[in-house]
Amino acid sequence: MSKKPYPAGLPTKELLREFIHGSETPLNKRDIARAFGLKGQDRIALKQLLRELAEEGVVEKDSGKSYKAPEALPETGLVEVVGLDVDGELIAKPLQWQGKGAAPVIYVMDNLRAEGSINAGDQILVRMKRISAHEYEARILKALDDAAGQIIGVFKPYKDGGYVYPTNKKIKEDYFIPREYAEGFFEGDLVMAEQIPPSAKYPRSKKPARIVKRLGKKDDPRLISLIAIHSHSIPTEFSKEALKEAEGMKEPDLSGGREDLRVLPLITIDGADARDFDDAVFAEPDVHPDNEGGWHLLVAIADVSYYVTPNSALDKMAFERGNSTYFADRVVPMLPERLSNDLCSLKPQVNRACLACHLWIDRNGRLIAHKFIRGLMRSAARLTYEEVENAHKGYPDDKTGPLLEPVIKPLYKAYSILKRARELRGALEIDLPERKALIDDKGIVTAIVPRHRLESHQLIEEFMILANVATAEALEKKNAPCIYRIHDSPAFDRLENTRNFLKEMGYSLPKAEHLQPKNINHILHLSADKPDKELVHTLLLRTQSQAIYSPDNIGHFGLALEKYAHFTSPIRRYADLMVHRSLVRSHGLGAGGLEDSEKETLHEIAEHISQTERRSMLAERDVMDRFTAQYLSTNIGRDFPGKVSGVTHFGLFVTLDESGADGLVPMRSLPRDYYVHDEKHHALVGKENGRSYRLAQRVIVRLVEADPLRGSTVFEMLDAFGAPSDNTRPRPQGRRDRNSNRREKNFRKDGKSGDNRRKNKKRR
- Name the nearest CA neighbour of 56 among 42, 67, 43: 67
Regarding whether 478 and 498 lie in a shared domain, the answer is no
Report the C-alpha gap between 460 and 280 in whole angstroms.
9
Note whether residue 227 is domain-resident.
no
What confidence tens digit (pLDDT) does each residue in 616-652 have?
998 998 999 899 999 999 999 999 999 998 888 889 9
- Predicted confidence band at 431 (pLDDT cuts at 50, 70, 90)? confident
What confidence tens digit (pLDDT) does each residue in 284-310 have?
999 999 999 999 999 999 999 999 999
Regarding whether 666 and 520 lie in a shared domain, the answer is no
pLDDT at 145: 44
Regarding whether 564 and 442 lie in a shared domain, the answer is yes
- Predicted confidence band at 313 (pLDDT cuts at 50, 70, 90)? very high
> Structural domain tally of the chain?
6
Note whether residue 687 is domain-resident.
yes
Q: Which range is most confident: 19-33, 150-164, 425-439, 475-489?
A: 475-489
Note whether residue 628 is domain-resident.
no
CATH number at residue 136: 2.40.50.140
Regarding whether 82 and 43 lie in a shared domain, the answer is no
Of 220, 250, 269, the domain-final residue: 220
Regarding whether 61 and 91 lie in a shared domain, the answer is no
Of 68, 87, 104, the domain-final residue: 68
Note whether residue 536 is domain-resident.
yes
- Predicted confidence band at 26 (pLDDT cuts at 50, 70, 90)? confident
Which sign, positive or negative, has the C-alpha torsion 91, 95, 96, 102?
positive
pTM of the model: 0.78
Report the C-alpha gap between 690 and 675 in whole angstroms.
9
What confidence tens digit (pLDDT) does each residue in 651-661 have?
999 999 888 88
Is the predicted pLDDT of residue 730 greater than 50, yes or no? no
Of 544, 565, 580, the domain-final residue: 544
pLDDT at 740: 39
Q: Above pLDDT 90, what percent of the chain?
A: 49
Report the C-alpha gap between 741 and 460 in whole angstroms.
44
More confident: 570 or 545: 570
Regarding whether 472 and 354 lie in a shared domain, the answer is yes
Phi-psi category of residue 38: left, alpha or beta, with phi > 0 → left and psi -120 to 50 → alpha: beta
Q: Lowest-pLDDT range, 28-32, 235-239, 447-451, 718-722?
A: 718-722
pLDDT at 133: 66
pLDDT at 88: 60
Note whether residue 226 is domain-resident.
no
Q: Which residues contact 533 (CB under 8 A, 6 or more apart)?
A: 527, 724
What confidence tens digit (pLDDT) does each residue in 585-602 have?
999 999 999 999 999 999
Average pLDDT over residues 392-403: 96
Note whether residue 509 is domain-resident.
yes
Is the predicted pLDDT of residue 58 greater than 80, yes or no? no
Strands of 150-158's sheet in order across: 175-177, 161-166, 150-158, 190-195, 209-216
**Would you tell me how many other CB atoms lie within 10 Å of the CB of residue 585?**
22
Average pLDDT over residues 142-165: 77
Report the C-alpha gap between 401 and 405 in whole angstroms.
8
Q: Which range is most confident: 79-93, 284-298, 683-697?
A: 284-298
More confident: 743 or 95: 95
pLDDT at 113: 40
- Predicted confidence band at 452 (pLDDT cuts at 50, 70, 90)? confident
Regarding whether 125 and 43 lie in a shared domain, the answer is no
Q: What is the mean pLDDT of the chain?
A: 85
Regarding whether 343 and 244 lie in a shared domain, the answer is yes
Regarding whether 343 and 319 lie in a shared domain, the answer is yes
Regarding whether 647 and 609 lie in a shared domain, the answer is no
Note whether residue 8 is domain-resident.
no
Note whether residue 271 is domain-resident.
yes
CA distances from 553 to 50, 92, 369 (A): 19, 22, 21
Is the predicted pLDDT of residue 148 greater than 80, yes or no? no
The domain of 522 spans 489-544
Average pLDDT over residues 601-606: 92
Is the predicted pLDDT of residue 763 greater than 70, yes or no? no
The residue type found at 345 is: S
Report the C-alpha gap between 69 and 17 in whole angstroms.
8
pLDDT at 733: 33
Regarding whether 295 and 209 lie in a shared domain, the answer is no
Is the predicted pLDDT of residue 734 greater than 70, yes or no? no
Residue 176's beta-bridge partner residues?
Answer: 163, 208
Is the predicted pLDDT of residue 731 greater than 50, yes or no? no
Average pLDDT over residues 311-325: 96
Per DSSP, the three-state class of 119 is: coil
Half-sphere exposure of 710 (CA within 13 A, CB side): 19
Q: Above pLDDT 70, what percent of the chain?
A: 88
Regarding whether 647 and 595 lie in a shared domain, the answer is no
pLDDT at 102: 67
CATH number at residue 175: 2.40.50.700
Average pLDDT over residues 317-333: 94
